[in-house]
Structure 1
Amino acid sequence: MRSGEPISINWVTTPTGPGSGGHTTCFRIIKYLDKAGYDNRIFFYHIHGADQKYFEGVAREHYGLTCPISDIRNGMPDADAVVATSWPTAYVAFNAACAGKRFYFVQDFEPYFEPVGAYSVIAENTYRMGFHGITAGAWLAQKLSREYGMDADHFPFGCDTSRYHRDPVSRRSGVAFYVRTGTPRRGTELGLLALELFAKRQPHAQIHLFGEKLEGLTFNCINHGLVSPAKLNEIYNQCFAGICLSFTNVSLVPHEMLAAGCVPVVNDAEHNRIVLDNPYVRYTSPTPHALASALEDLMQMADFNALSQIAAESVKSTTWDDAAAAVDAAFRRALNASRQTQVLESCLATVD
């Protein structure tokens, strides 16, 4: 990194379709850094290869990326920074021939994604590669620093309040649940058990499911499936509360619900409290009865409208620009420190 020149970053990421929360966050940061003068380059990695043209089209059309996008199999040029974005890409970044300080953009503790065994250990070993971590929320930074000795900064979760906002005239009549059967850490089965109990206690309440469509349910619900942000905001504004289970790092859903005045019911855990850090989240034990009771309490609350208003206000200042600015600052600090170390080592070598 030379004075006056833009910071160049090689981002190594997996290709994705529309609607990926992790890619949405990563690409938001990249677009902010583009505007801040960075030279961003994205390199798609897939173990079996992928249709580069198709996935580049998705990245541009659905995520609004304008920076160069290439296939990792064609190699990467030297850069100031090389950023891994998941455990498979960490191995690629570690072994790449190009120059550049290695960073790790960490959005969750990925060893928890696998049963204890080879894959969980392979994922865990990436935290011992000597990368500089930039994590989503403080919990991950604390964990990686404490348990693996990683240098780690973090950025706060943002909330897109231009998309998710409270409608003061919307009539609330039920509850919501984010369904992800293919993502065990989101606790779909537990949430469905809670909703089965809730439906028996409150048979007239509407239950909204979103994320994916399910069949064979034992209670009546509105099965929305995958929806647009506009439709999702509409759903939130029809609900008093929503179940948001996170057994690793939190998703974007609790902040979105808060912005719309819908109170998230979250399993009580240290990682959730550290990252959300919001007094209007309703924490409860991760049991069907406790979750159902929390939904019922919120739905029957006499002054819910006041709670809804103040919950929405609590995230109005939580912007993605603030999150991206924290990432910008982390890159600059780490790269400047690395450059100063190199200068010092060069001077010491000259003296010797």
Structure 2
Amino acid sequence: MSGSALGIVGKLRREGARGVVRRAVRRAYQHLDAGALDFGLLPEDIADSTRLVLPPAPPVPDGRPLVIGWLTTPPAAGSGGHTTMFRMVEALEEAGHRCVVLLYDRHHGSTAAQAAVVRSAWPQVRAEVRSVDDGFDGLDACVATSWESAHVLASRATRPLHRFYFIQDYEPLFSPHGSEHQLAADTYRFGFTNIALGEMVHRRLRTDCGVDSEMVPFSCDTTVYSFSNRGERSGIVFYAKPGQARRGHLLNCLALAEFHRRHPEQPIHVYGWSTPDLGVPVVDHGRLTAEELNALYNRCIAGLAMSFTNISLVAEEMLAAGCVPVVNSSRDSRADLDNPRVGWALPTPGGIADALSAAVEAADVPARAAAAAASVRSDDWAIPREGVRRIIERTVRGEAPVDWVATADAAGTGSNRS
């Protein structure tokens, strides 16, 4: 047997067939530069704030509905960012305005198929869905919804147009310091009207980039996520999404191994992406609808809701169902959910396992679940929806914006935490 064959046999014994295949795929990935396919922009769509000259748009007179574009990447059913965006689209539509969803897909997928996903996953949205390749004609305003779509709005929409940027996270943190990090940060300097979702984004824009933004607060979908189980609970739940570094997948897996060592009697429920190599026994639920997910949260004592950028929507959705979310403790994650019912954890495998263990070992789990559910915000996205609607309307009409967080606090409709 040749030396190369012996080497392959040795690797098969040490790593198994799966490990050998992974090595081969990685080599092919690197050799073919397949990572370039993950870059979300075509080179010609990259804008540069130091060279950008965008014509100002005149105010639109009051008395007629607005036509507002929402520029986004093709959504997948269940996408939290797209769901939040569509909540804002609904708010504008309910106010009598017409919305148009403009899809940007650098890989030129089928717009008809992508529109069908929107119709199926978000049936309440009435907006026309079309490709951004069809242009911006007929729009009074357009809203970018990610750093990629901000570049497209800057580079392609060259006629007078009111430009907005609905910013749900500080997206430079999605990438290591390098090209994509800087391209994402530059979008905040394009001169759009920045609308920040939450204090973390608002503060980061000001301190890291030196730009202003209008801020609307976070919220929680309490229509779907609600408290129904006042009895006993068991186990923990984990949303597996290994492709997103900001969700701390490796830390989660290491913490689960330690938690299982301490508490083998507690079931570990997993949903989301397929993860066959977690290293601990799990109940794999695959993809779940929001209603199915709420039922699962109502069965569990605690869940993992790690996020190393803005706070994940999952954390407060768990709380609403009485499931204690374990979240990495940081200034960024606490900025929009400074709630003592959260299992704030030091972001190490042991620190996360400590927080999970504390939740399942706590006395009177049903009472703690009820207290967790009672701590969530009560507006069900009404305040941010109203804020985004009024910011867009007032800006396009030429009026001064309003501090919507102060307005909500004065009305007593802000967060409800205990």
Q: TM-score, normalised by structure 2?
A: 0.78
Correspondence for 1:184 among 231, 245, 248: 245
What is residue 348 of structure 1 aligned with on the other side?
none
Spell out the pairing of 1:60-139 with structure 2 (5 A cutoff). Answer: 60-64=119-123, 65-95=125-155, 96-139=157-200
What is residue 270 of structure 1 aligned with on the other side?
331
Moved more, 199-208 or 101-110: 101-110
Correspondence for 1:141 among 202, 214, 225: 202
Partner-residue secondary structure (3-state), 1:103? strand
Alpha-carbon contact 2:236-2:303 (below 8 Å) kept: yes
Following superposition, the deviation at residue 336 of structure 1 comes to 4.3
Bigger radius of gyration: 2
Gaps of 5+ in 2: 1-59, 402-418
Partner-residue secondary structure (3-state), 2:143? strand
The residue identity in structure 1 corresponding to 2:175 is E
What is residue 150 of structure 1 aligned with on the other side?
211
Rounded to whole Å, the distance in 1 between the matches of 2:338 and 2:351 is 21
Moved more, 112-121 or 53-62: 112-121
2:294 matches 1:245: no
Spell out the pairing of 1:219-238 with structure 2 (5 A cutoff). Answer: 219-238=280-299
What is residue 295 of structure 1 aligned with on the other side?
356
Rounded to whole Å, the distance in 1 between the matches of 2:120 and 2:282 is 32
Alpha-carbon contact 1:78-1:99 (below 8 Å) kept: no
Following superposition, the deviation at residue 113 of structure 1 comes to 1.7
Query: 1:101/1:19 Cα in 2 relative to 1: closer, same or farther (>3 Å)?
Result: same
Partner-residue secondary structure (3-state), 2:268? strand
Gaps of 5+ in 1: 341-352
Following superposition, the deviation at residue 335 of structure 1 comes to 3.2
User: What percentage of aligned pairs have identical amino acids?
Assistant: 39
Rounded to whole Å, the distance in 2 between the matches of 1:92 and 1:338 is 27
User: What CA deviation, in whole Å up to 9, does each residue of 1:122-156 have, x standing for no partner?
Assistant: 11111111111112211101211233232312222
Partner-residue secondary structure (3-state), 2:336? helix
Alpha-carbon contact 1:212-1:224 (below 8 Å) kept: no
Partner-residue secondary structure (3-state), 2:335? helix
User: What CA deviation, in whole Å up to 9, does each residue of 1:93-144 have, x standing for no partner?
Assistant: 1121332221111111222222222122111111111111112211101211
Rounded to whole Å, the distance in 2 between the matches of 1:224 and 1:284 is 25
Query: 1:170/1:227 Cα in 2 relative to 1: closer, same or farther (>3 Å)?
Result: farther
Following superposition, the deviation at residue 203 of structure 1 comes to 0.8
Partner-residue secondary structure (3-state), 1:307? helix
The residue identity in structure 2 corresponding to 1:128 is R
2:276 matches 1:194: no
Rounded to whole Å, the distance in 1 between the matches of 2:322 and 2:359 is 12
User: What CA deviation, in whole Å up to 9, does each residue of 1:327-351 have, x standing for no partner?
Assistant: 11222343344689xxxxxxxxxxx
Aligned residues: 340
